[in-house]
Amino acid sequence: MATLNPYIGFRTEAAEALEFYRSVLGGTVETMTFDSMGDAMGPLAPETKNLVMHGSLTLEDGLVLMAADTPPGMDYEAPTAGVTVAMTSADPGDQPRFADYFAKLSEGGTPGVPFEQAPWGDYFGQFVDRFGVSWMFDVAGPEAGGPDSAGS
């Protein structure tokens, strides 16, 4: 089975961001530093050794968010360069949980669209978190009637 996972590039904050996301969303964080690769990465500058070469947050429902730091000498691309991490649900029962995620993840970030019922009936909201990552939440409204009846 194939999966499609968001992979966020950070300058040096991947470990901190993954831990923050875990504190809100739950799940398990796994990280591999550049230093943990041993000689495979060649000589490393001291400021590179503890950067995250690959990290992931796996939520209890199997959703995975991946992240890595950008070592010196590589071009850094800001996480909001046209990409948004979207968390969606067709189950109206997820609204309270998504509202909680939205409130906690948006703390210290840049407000966008408040998480509230939108004209199309879903609960929707958007923001940029304190790490510069754009997030969007959408959960079916109460009139959707259940997980199989919404188009989210």
What digits encode the pLDDT tens for the residues 100-109?
A: 999 999 999 9
Distance in angstroms (rounded) separating the CA atoms of residues 20 and 100: 14
This prediction has a pTM of 0.87
Nearest to 15 by CA among 55, 47, 43, 46: 55
Give me the domains of the chain, ranges plus CATH numbers: 7-69 (3.10.180.10), 85-144 (3.10.180.10)
For position 145, what pLDDT does the model report?
58
Report whether 125 contacts 146 (CB < 8 A). Answer: no
What share of the chain in percent tops pLDDT 70? 93
pLDDT digits (tens, 9 = 90+) for 22-78: 999 999 999 999 988 877 777 778 888 899 999 999 999 999 999 999 988 888 888
CA distances from 61 to 5, 58, 87, 114, 132 (A): 14, 8, 12, 25, 25
Residue type at 24 in one-letter notation: V
For position 77, what pLDDT does the model report?
82
pLDDT category at 95 given cuts 50, 70, 90 is very high
For position 144, what pLDDT does the model report?
67
pLDDT category at 141 given cuts 50, 70, 90 is very high
**DSSP-H helix ranges across 55-147:** 95-106
For position 47, what pLDDT does the model report?
86
